[in-house]
Structure 1
Amino acid sequence: MPQLSQIRRMEAVSFRSFPATSTVFDGTWAIRLTAGHPSKRLNSVSPLDPSDRLWLEDRIHKAEQRFKSFGRSLVFRLTPLAPKGLTELLAENGWEEFQESIVMLADISKFELSKTIDQVPLKDVGTWIDNFIEMSDYNTDLKPGLAEVIGATEPETGLFVHSNDKGENASVLRCVHDRDLVGVFDLVTHPDFLRQGHGKAVMETALLWAQRKGALSSWLQVVAENKSAISLYNSMGFSELYRYTYWKPPVDSQSHGVLRNAAIAAL
């Protein structure tokens, strides 16, 4: 397990790389909401200190009300920074863990990328998003929201589109360079060109760009069930740093409140 300080830094970099429209703090709980995009990481509560474990029920209720004002259902995103008492409280009240993701990290300072395709990042955000939508099952109605997220990202963003030998766009990737780190997001390969090395190729192009910008390490987030992506990342030198899970309330919480067991004391 990495040091908590390293996890805190990675969480902060993650928030800057995928900025929410609204971020407020309740103690060390980051409450992130975005009206224009339904992504879980943009609409969830992320506790950032294991010792911040007082008045849990009251704080969950307040978070629920804030989410309702945005038309969202309350979701918790629990990393190793979450207090143990919170996880137990949610589980005992019928909350469901519904997705696990892995944060992976690689030292790219020694990556040999001399034979990598050198490409200038795409400046046209709309064109990049169009390619991303074409290659994925992304909802076209969310295009404005994704454009807003990319436009609001303060660290330098690199948008890459990789083409095959026939000039057909085969894969896309978004990365964010933040000092000595570069985050990799939205890696997608066109369904017609899977297992032909295009995902790795666009990754290497992006990492070459980041190397030249001074990045020493690269990080990414991947759903734990995505074994093929994890295999690719492992082959490139990435390894697991830590995991996080998403939690959602029980179905009947809409009418009875998020917490049903009021007898459980806040820890």
Structure 2
Amino acid sequence: MATSSVQPDLPLVRRLEAVGFRAWPAASVVYDGSWQVRLTGGHPSKRVNCVVPLDPSDHRDLDQRLQKAAKRFADYGRTLVLRETPLAPPVLIQHLERTGWEVFETADVMTVDLSRLELPDTLDYLPSHDIGRFADACLHVAEEDPALKPALAEILSAIKPTSGFFMKQDPSNGAVATVLCVQDNDLAGILSLAVAKSHRRERLGTDMLSSALRWARISGARTAWLQVEATNEAAIALYDRFGFTKAYSYRYWRKS
């Protein structure tokens, strides 16, 4: 990772990584030592198609293990992607740099203390439990291929913690905003927050996020977390307004 004057809280990183895995579960998860190998044949999301090293000291046999992972990804018709968090071995990252790998995306994990937030007394949007309808809404808002619905529904159905599916519907345009809130004990994850291009700058993102966070707090969560691409300035500005602060960053690597 890029050097920083503030070192990440590794126990917090481990906990947020664990709840993140449960909030967006991969279809296949195997371990090579402490490396988690996550694959989902029908859905392209990087979070469910990557290798995630989870112990800074686990850096034995790097070439062999990377080749083994690459073979497993190839069996799924995918190119090997490695997700580097603060738990990744520095020796492994140095090896990637030497052997022609490149970083192609950076994201931030952000958290906020829900007890400190001023949120509406009522929910503007109530959560649904209709997975099929929510999957349709997500794909419509993001303008993604409707053929991804079975794979997305499979991911959503596999989420074990309590989940709330929030949607805003427009009578003439269908779904125009979505957000998923996954409550895992005292932690609530915010995922799939999206607003249709035709309805941006209408405070929908603010209203949807407010409802999800209010629901999470009512349900017993004390801290909310989310993951956002480091280049998504509009989303980061929204989260800043709610008091979210960066806990740590992660990067995706692939062979160049």
Where on the TM-score scale, by shorter chain, does this alignment land: which range? over 0.9
TM-score (norm 2): 0.93
Q: CA deviation at 1:168?
A: 7.0
What does residue 257 of structure 1 align with? Answer: none
Describe how 1:35-46 pairs up with structure 2 within 5 A. Answer: 35-46=41-52
Task: Name which one, 1 or 2, has greater alpha-carbon Rg.
Answer: 1
Q: Which runs of 5+ in 1 are unaligned?
A: 251-267
CA drift of 1:185 comes to 0.7
Distance, in Å, in 1 between the alignment partners of 2:208 and 2:174 is 14
Query: 2:248 matched to 1:245?
Result: no
Alignment of 1:90-129 (within 5 A): 90-129=96-135
Q: What amino acid is aligned across from residue 37 of structure 1 in structure 2? A: H
Structure 1 counterpart of 2:212, from 198, 206, 217: 206
Q: Distance in 1 between matches of 2:53 and 2:252?
A: 12
Pick aligned residue for 1:21 from 27, 31, 50: 27
Mapped to 1, the partners of 2:138 and 2:131 lie a distance apart of 10
The count of corresponding residues between Structure 1 and Structure 2 is 250
- Output the aligned Cα RMSD: 1.8
> Which residue matches 1:139?
145
How far has the Cα of 1:136 moved from its partner? 1.3
* Equivalent-residue separation in structure 2 for 1:56 and 1:2 (angstroms): 25
- Which of 179, 182, 207 is equivalent to 1:173? 179
- Letter of the 1:236 partner, please give it: F
Q: Is the 8 A contact 2:125 2:168 kept in 1?
A: no
CA distance in 1: counterparts of 2:112 and 2:17, whole angstroms:
16
CA drift of 1:169 comes to 4.5
Structure-2 separation of matches of 1:189 and 1:17: 21
State the identity %. Answer: 43
2:188 aligned with 1:182: yes
Q: Where does the alignment leave 5 or more consecutive residues of structure 2 unmatched?
A: 1-6
Q: 2:203 aligns with which of 197, 203, 206?
A: 197
Q: 1:176 to 1:85 in 2, by over 3 A?
A: same
8 Å CA contact 2:190–2:226 kept in 1: the answer is yes
Runs of 4 or more above 4 Å deviation: 163-169
TM-score by length of 1: 0.89
The alignment partner of 1:16 has SS state of helix
- Cα deviation, residue 61, structure 1: 1.2
SS at match of 2:116: coil
Aligned-partner Cα distance in 2 for 1:118–1:8:
33
Contact 1:116 1:204 in 2 (8 A): no
- What's the offset of the Cα at 1:162? 2.9
Q: Match of 2:177, as an amino acid?
A: S
Contact 1:171 1:198 in 2 (8 A): yes
Of the three residues 71, 74, 93, the one matched with 1:87 is 93
d(CA) in 1 for partners of 2:84, 2:210 = 31
* Distance in 1 (alpha carbons) for counterparts of 2:44 and 2:199: 28
